[in-house]
Structure 1
Amino acid sequence: MPKNHIQEILDTYWTARAYAYDQRELPADYEREVEKMWTEIFSRFLPTSPAKILDVGTGPGIIARFLAAVGYEVLGLDGAPGMIQRALSYETTAKFAVADVADLPAIYQDGSYDAVTCRYLLWTLRDAPAAIRKWTQALKPGGIILAADANWYAGGIPRDIKVDSAAGPDSFIETYNEELLATMPLSTANTPEEYAEVFRQAGLKDIKITPLPEVKELEIRYNRPDNHHIKPNFMISGRI
Structure 2
Amino acid sequence: MQSEPMADGANFTLRDEIKAYWSARAATFDQSPGHEIFSEEERAAWHELIERHLGWGAGRKALDLASGTGVISHLMDDLGYRVTGIDWSEAMLERARAKAASRGRSIRFHLGDAENTLEADDSYDVIVTRHLVWTLVDPETCFREWLRVLKPGGKLLVIDGDFVNAGLAERLVKRLATLLERTGLVKPQAPHAPAIMAGTHESILSRVYFSGGARAEPVARLIEEAGFSPVTIDTNLRRVHDAQAVNLSFFKGVARGLQHRYAIVAEKSKG
1:195 aligns with 2:219: yes
Distance verdict in 2 for CA 1:110–1:190, change over 3 Å: closer
Within the candidate set 20, 25, 31, 1:23 is matched to 31
Residue 93 (structure 1) aligns with: 106
Within the candidate set 202, 205, 210, 1:176 is matched to 202
Per-residue CA distance 1:33-65 (angstroms, 9 max, x = gap): 222111221111114322110000111110101
For 1:50-199, what aligned pairs fall within 5 Å after superposition? 50-90=59-99, 91=103, 92-101=105-114, 103-106=115-118, 108-154=119-165, 169-177=195-203, 180-189=204-213, 191-199=215-223
Per-residue CA distance 1:145-185 (angstroms, 9 max, x = gap): 11011111127xxxxxx8566xx5232322431xx445423
Distance verdict in 2 for CA 1:170–1:138, change over 3 Å: same
One-letter amino acid of the structure 2 residue matched with residue 66 of structure 1 = L
Distance verdict in 2 for CA 1:109–1:7, change over 3 Å: farther
| CA distance in structure 1 between the partners assigned to 2:131 and 2:81 by the alignment | 20
Distance verdict in 2 for CA 1:182–1:30, change over 3 Å: closer
| CA distance in structure 2 between the partners assigned to 1:111 and 1:197 by the alignment | 22
Per-residue CA distance 1:91-132 (angstroms, 9 max, x = gap): 32211111111x2232x1331100110111110111112111
Shift of 1:234: 1.1
Q: Do the aligned partners of 1:56 and 1:78 also contact (CA within 8 Å) in 2?
A: yes
Shift of 1:10: 0.8
One-letter amino acid of the structure 2 residue matched with residue 188 of structure 1 = G
Within the candidate set 23, 32, 36, 2:44 is matched to 36
Distance verdict in 2 for CA 1:7–1:70, change over 3 Å: same
Q: Do the aligned partners of 2:63 and 2:85 also contact (CA within 8 Å) in 1?
A: yes
Shift of 1:222: 4.8
| CA distance in structure 2 between the partners assigned to 1:2 and 1:29 by the alignment | 34
Q: Do the aligned partners of 1:13 and 1:172 also contact (CA within 8 Å) in 2?
A: no
Runs of 4+ in 1 over 4 A off after TM superposition: 162-165
One-letter amino acid of the structure 2 residue matched with residue 97 of structure 1 = H
Within the candidate set 197, 208, 233, 2:261 is matched to 233
Name the TM-score, length of structure 1 as normaliser.
Answer: 0.83
Give secondary structure in 2 for the equivalent of 1:185: coil
Deviates more, 1:39-48 or 1:58-67: 39-48
> Any unmatched runs of 5+ in structure 1?
156-161
Within the candidate set 9, 17, 23, 1:9 is matched to 17
| CA distance in structure 1 between the partners assigned to 2:252 and 2:67 by the alignment | 23
| CA distance in structure 1 between the partners assigned to 2:214 and 2:64 by the alignment | 25
One-letter amino acid of the structure 2 residue matched with residue 236 of structure 1 = I
> Any unmatched runs of 5+ in structure 2?
4-11, 167-189
Higher Cα Rg: structure 1 or 2?
Answer: 2
One-letter amino acid of the structure 2 residue matched with residue 189 of structure 1 = G
| CA distance in structure 2 between the partners assigned to 1:214 and 1:237 by the alignment | 18
Count of residues paired in the alignment: 227
Q: Do the aligned partners of 2:161 and 2:214 also contact (CA within 8 Å) in 1?
A: no
Residue 207 (structure 1) aligns with: 231
Q: Do the aligned partners of 2:61 and 2:124 also contact (CA within 8 Å) in 1?
A: yes
Within the candidate set 204, 209, 216, 2:241 is matched to 216
Deviates more, 1:217-226 or 1:131-140: 217-226
| CA distance in structure 2 between the partners assigned to 1:205 and 1:44 by the alignment | 18
Distance verdict in 2 for CA 1:25–1:186, change over 3 Å: closer
